[in-house]
Amino acid sequence: MPDGSESERTGPGRAAAVSMRVVNTIAAIPATAWDACAGPGNPPDNPFVCHGFLNALEDSGAAATATGWHPMHLIAEDGTGAPAGVVPLYLKNHSYGEYVFDWAWADAYERAGGRYYPKLQACIPFTPVTGPRLLIRPDVERKAVTAALIAGLEEIARRLDVSSLHVTFAHRDQWEALGAAGFLQRLGIQYHFENPGYRDFDDFLAALTARRRKTIRKERRAAAQSGLRIRALSGAAIRPHHWDAFHRCYVATADRKWGQPYLTRSFFHRLGETMAERVLLVVAEDADGRLVAGALNLIGGDTLYGRNWGCLGDYPFLHFELCYYRAIEFAIARGLKRIEAGAQGDHKILRGYRPVLTYSAHWIADPGFRDAVARYLDQERPAIEAEIAALAAHTPYRHEQGKG
């Protein structure tokens, strides 16, 4: 594994007049230079690819060598030395915190005598959110820099002699470019809320079947009867004690549900210090003012991204209220086009979220192993497409009933 030195030259990309290098910390690149590639928008519309979010993960120790996430960000520089494109990239010795599962691939390869780890991962750590993974400055020739970044990724993988390179939760156009370059293509499913221009929450409910309207109202009443005070906080309204309390909730829920809280208390504080205006923290407080539950969202250009949930007790339907219904209210009030609610959970369909495809691309070094994975994906992709069609036939919207 590289020793964390400042950078490593990989040579000029043949597809564009750029030079390629790797940096072992995002702090080695000025925030303005990274974010100029991560746009559109300044800061970028997608908050997870911005320098501030990635730096918070690294500085807090959440995404660091000690946790198995060794930063190896790929930088394509133009003739002036300015970044023309960047890729958030990590050398990993495990598959935790990714949400596109390759445990079975690792097991099969190692049982056959191979060494699956370390591998390279182009992604946002602990964040199953679709976004650009090849971040390209808008004033450069996009096709050429895309080709240069893809070639640079393959060169790094070969140099490090890793088993594989994975680009997860990519935009479809980049997934297609990676596929054209020989990467294996994989599909997944998430659940997103689409806002066609609802006036308010009641207008959204009016689009649902009577049965679903009744159920959602019942769930919201039950949450309201818990005796908790629910508030939506953003910007300066989020104080350090809110982050401390939310971290306690997050850790408690992780311990109960999946066993490993990836994000640190320091990460949440750093998020509040650098990106508070892009945070929506929905909290529930008891009669003594103690924060007992919270849902963390990040605000993008046209999308609200639901991220983390935590709770200290058992409150009926509070999870649905904080994570889904308050998010829908906020998105409608802000005129946001959609909500991405994270990985898994077909229960979201009944609450107005629709199934959508997600995209990942995979480079496999060993030809025999690559062929085996390719055959598996050739069977998996149509199965995923059939599943999403079946799920889409069961949305709770009145005008869609009976379709599919």
Q: Same domain for 363 and 248?
A: no
Domain contains 331: yes
222 is in which domain, residue-wise? 196-336
pTM of the entire structure?
A: 0.93
Count of the separate structural domains present in the chain: 2
Q: Same domain for 141 and 50?
A: yes
Q: Same domain for 103 and 145?
A: yes
Taking the CA of residue 198 as centre, how many other CA atoms within 13 Å lie in the half-sphere pointing to its CB? 23
Ordered per-residue pLDDT tens for the chain, 404 residues: 344 444 444 444 344 478 999 999 999 999 999 999 998 887 889 999 999 999 999 999 999 999 999 999 999 999 999 999 999 999 999 999 999 999 999 999 999 999 999 999 999 999 999 999 999 999 999 999 999 999 999 999 999 999 999 999 999 999 999 999 999 999 999 999 999 999 999 999 999 999 999 999 999 999 999 999 999 999 999 999 999 999 999 999 987 766 678 999 999 999 999 999 999 999 999 999 999 999 999 999 999 999 999 999 999 999 999 999 999 999 999 999 999 988 777 789 999 999 999 999 999 999 999 999 999 999 999 999 999 999 999 899 997 654 44
Domain contains 342: no
Q: Same domain for 332 and 382?
A: no
Please report, for the domain that includes residue 100, its CATH number: 3.40.630.30
Q: Same domain for 281 and 176?
A: no
Determine the Cα angle at 77 with ends 135 and 84, to 5°: 35
The angle that helices 51-59 and 31-38 make with each other, rounded to 10 degrees, is 130
DSSP-derived 3-state class of residue 146: helix
Q: Same domain for 55 and 171?
A: yes
Q: Same domain for 56 and 172?
A: yes
Domain contains 369: yes
Q: Same domain for 325 and 219?
A: yes
Tell me the C-alpha distance between 75 and 234, whole Å. Answer: 33
CB 223 within 8 A of CB 317: yes
The answer, yes or no, to whether the previous bond of 43 is cis (omega within 30 of 0) is yes
